[in-house]
Amino acid sequence: MATMLQKFPSSVSTLNDYNALYPDWTQREVSTGTTIMAVEFDGGVVMGADSRTTTGAYIANRVTDKLTPIHERIFCCRSGSAADTQAIADAVTYQLGFHSIELDEAPLVQTAASLFRDMCYRYREELMAGIIVAGWDRRRGGQVYTVPVGGMMTRQPVSVGGSGSSYIYGFVDSNYKPAMSKEECLKFTAEALTLAMERDGSSGGVVRLAVISEQGVERQVILGNQLPKFSTV
Amino acid sequence: RRIMATVSVCKYYPGGFSFDNCKRNALLEADISKLGFSSPAARKTGTTICGVVYKDGVVLGADTRATEGMIVADKNCSKIHYISPNIYCCGAGTAADTEMTTQIISSNLELHSLSTGRLPRVATANRMLKQMLFRYQGYIGAALVLGGVDCNGPHLYSIYPHGSTDKLPYVTMGSGSLAAMAVFEDRYRPNMEEEEAKRLVRDAIAAGIFNDLGSGSNIDLCVITKGKVDYLRPHDVANKKGVRTGSYRYKHGTTGVLTKTVTPLNLEVVEESVQTMDTS
């Protein structure tokens, strides 16, 4: 793997032809190309993500788990640079755990989202991270907060993110109905992710789903051959 | 009326590491080539490294070629580094970076282990490595395959220079990783026996050695189980130096001698020592 993951200036790289010996993907940073999604329903949230991590054109991990636990009933979906989002998630997990012990009660989803926002905004020049924070707490039930690159934070009933999200805004906007049940949300999320994975080269693998509610967290995996089928010409 | 006005201008220290010199170095690199010189190439381990989790533990494998540009700098370097008695780490990328990074974490992990009074865990080594590499934002070119057995069983991680990690049952890294991964994707099964796992890793590294220019020479293996480590170096000498079929030595007297002058140099021998060069 190459040392400097910045591209060599063209004068240097042509002279020594380093790029020929080490293929493109050894010089690119690991990124979660990604499609991520989260939906609120009455009583909880449904979160979903694909499972592909790429370095350039090579798939470094085809079974990634992008739904990362931050606290017992708070998860986050990670998109962008794998290193940045892992580091941020680890830092926020620590901060939220400490805060929860101080409070002696379960933390709010909004608190977790604020911690993500603070970090993503403060270091916005250095980071490349698009995160969706979702979970359940006693005060406000199921909530989804989105923290895209740049460090904005806003609550949304439905949120999509990652490179594959561009392909499914139409599907999501037309198929989302307020007050869906848990099963409808699961079907909606799985279908949206499938469509994005079908069209986006940086998304693929399996669909990972998580349902967070007062009862706890239920996780599922939908393998490639079990994905919902859409007729494509 | 007394007004206490405190105008304190607090200088805001942004903190964090300063990477300004890295930008300067990149510009200098470009200028040097204009002048006709070339800066020394860092020695890299072109490399194929891989690891697999099997029934009783993990098997780590590596080739043994170290390159400086297009030249092989070391035909038999050791890429499987010691982290702790139950944890070893293969390193690809800049040879100095992988060597020093693994040594630093090995040292810190030993101190940590003495402090906790417990055998170190692979997850701890992973945390320490990823947090250090993230701090240096990818400028430490170390791509690692970390494997070991602890109280929670066998574990295998791949760690990238920017600080992202993946926990998987089989991983490959380095320029020959695609060749090795092809072998793994074909033949990996969960809960393999030790011999099958060793064969699989050996074949994956061999695929890298024979299909990637950056990898070559021998195959080293490291089998880690609960309570035992087999460091097999070399496990397989895949590339033995050939024997020349003909000899280019000319007989004495082939070149005619026209004149011969002998000038004795009056020197006093103070110390004589012989240093042999490793031409293997």
Chain A residue numbers with beta carbons less than 8 Å from the beta carbon of B18 are none
Q: Does A175 touch chain B (CB under 8 A)?
A: no
DSSP characters over A157-217: SEEEESGGGGGGHHHHHHH--SS--HHHHHHHHHHHHHHHHHH-TT--S-EEEEEEETTEE
A161, B73, B128, B229 from B81: Cα distances, Å: 39, 19, 16, 13
Q: Does A233 touch chain B (CB under 8 A)?
A: no
Task: Please judge whether A6 and B213 are an interchain contact, meaning their C-beta atoms are less than 8 angstroms apart.
Answer: no
Percent of chain B with pLDDT over 90: 66
Q: Does B216 touch chain A (CB under 8 A)?
A: no
Q: What is residue A7's predicted lDDT score, i.e. its pLDDT?
A: 46
How buried is residue B124: exposed, middle or buried, by Cβ count under 10 Å (0-12/13-18/19+)? buried
Q: What is residue A72's predicted lDDT score, i.e. its pLDDT?
A: 96
Q: Does B48 touch chain A (CB under 8 A)?
A: no
Chain A residue numbers with beta carbons less than 8 Å from the beta carbon of B92 are 1
Cα–Cα–Cα angle for A34, A40, A45, rounded to 5 degrees: 75
Q: Which among A14, A26, A34, A64 is annotated as catalytic?
A: A34
The residue-averaged pLDDT of A195-210 equals 95
Q: Does B214 touch chain A (CB under 8 A)?
A: yes
Q: Is the dihedral angle over the CA atoms B262, B268, B272, B275 positive or is it negative?
A: negative
| Complex ipTM value | 0.83
Strand order in the sheet with A36-41: A158-161, A36-41, A44-49, A207-213, A216-222
Whole-angstrom distance between the N-terminal and C-terminal Cα of chain A?
A: 40
For B228, list phi and psi in degrees, rounded to 5: -145, 140
Chain A residue numbers with beta carbons less than 8 Å from the beta carbon of B96 are none
Q: Which of B38, B70, B173 is closest, CB to CB, to A1?
A: B173
Chain A residue numbers with beta carbons less than 8 Å from the beta carbon of B41 are 16
Q: What is residue A10's predicted lDDT score, i.e. its pLDDT?
A: 46
Q: With beta carbons less than 8 A apart as the criterion, state whether A116 and A71 touch.
A: no
Task: Please judge whether A3 and B94 are an interchain contact, meaning their C-beta atoms are less than 8 angstroms apart.
Answer: yes
Residue A2 confidence class, pLDDT cut points 50, 70, 90: very low
How buried is residue A104: exposed, middle or buried, by Cβ count under 10 Å (0-12/13-18/19+)? exposed
Q: Which of A2, A16, A83 is closest, CB to CB, to B141?
A: A2
Instruction: Say which residue the tokens 């024997």 belong to.
Output: B243
Chain A residue numbers with beta carbons less than 8 Å from the beta carbon of B163 are 83, 86-87
How many whole angstroms from its chain centre is CA B161? 12
DSSP assignment, residue A123?
T
Q: Chain A, 98-137: which have a CB under 8 Å from a chain B CB?
A: 126
Q: Which of A1, A15, A81 is closest, CB to CB, to B143?
A: A1
Integer-rounded Cα Rg, in Å, for chain A is 19
- Torsion-angle region of A172 (φ positive above 0: left; ψ -120 to 50: alpha; else: beta): alpha
Q: Does B91 touch chain A (CB under 8 A)?
A: no
Q: Does A16 touch chain B (CB under 8 A)?
A: yes
For B121, list phi and psi in degrees, rounded to 5: -100, 150
Summary mean pLDDT of chain A: 89
Q: What is the pLDDT along chain B (280 residues), one digit of tens a residue?
A: 555 555 555 565 566 678 888 888 888 877 887 777 777 666 665 799 999 999 999 999 999 999 888 889 899 999 999 999 999 999 999 999 999 999 999 999 999 999 999 999 999 999 999 999 999 999 999 999 999 999 999 999 999 999 999 999 999 999 999 999 999 999 999 999 999 999 999 999 999 999 999 898 999 999 999 989 999 988 988 888 888 888 888 888 899 999 999 999 888 889 999 998 887 6
Q: Which of B26, B97, B160 is closest, CB to CB, to A30?
A: B160
Task: Please judge whether B29 and A12 are an interchain contact, meaning their C-beta atoms are less than 8 angstroms apart.
Answer: yes
pTM of the shown model: 0.82
Interface test with A, best of B21, B49, B164, B215 (most A CBs within 10 A): B164
Task: Please judge whether B22 and A4 are an interchain contact, meaning their C-beta atoms are less than 8 angstroms apart.
Answer: yes
Task: Please judge whether B29 and A6 are an interchain contact, meaning their C-beta atoms are less than 8 angstroms apart.
Answer: no
- Which positions of B are catalytic? 47
Q: With beta carbons less than 8 A apart as the criterion, state whether A45 and A144 touch.
A: yes
Q: Is the dihedral angle over the CA atoms B72, B73, B75, B79 positive or is it negative?
A: negative
Q: What is residue B156's predicted lDDT score, i.e. its pLDDT?
A: 98
B93 vs B210: CA distance, rounded Å: 19
For B101, list phi and psi in degrees, rounded to 5: -60, -45
Q: Does B97 touch chain A (CB under 8 A)?
A: yes
Task: Please judge whether B164 and A8 are an interchain contact, meaning their C-beta atoms are less than 8 angstroms apart.
Answer: no
Chain B residue numbers with beta carbons less than 8 Å from the beta carbon of A64 are 166
Spatial neighbors of A145 by CB under 8 A, at least 6 apart, are: A109, A110, A113, A132, A133, A134, A153, A154, A155, A156, A159
Q: Chain B, 167-186: which have a CB under 8 Å from a chain A CB?
A: 168, 173-175, 178
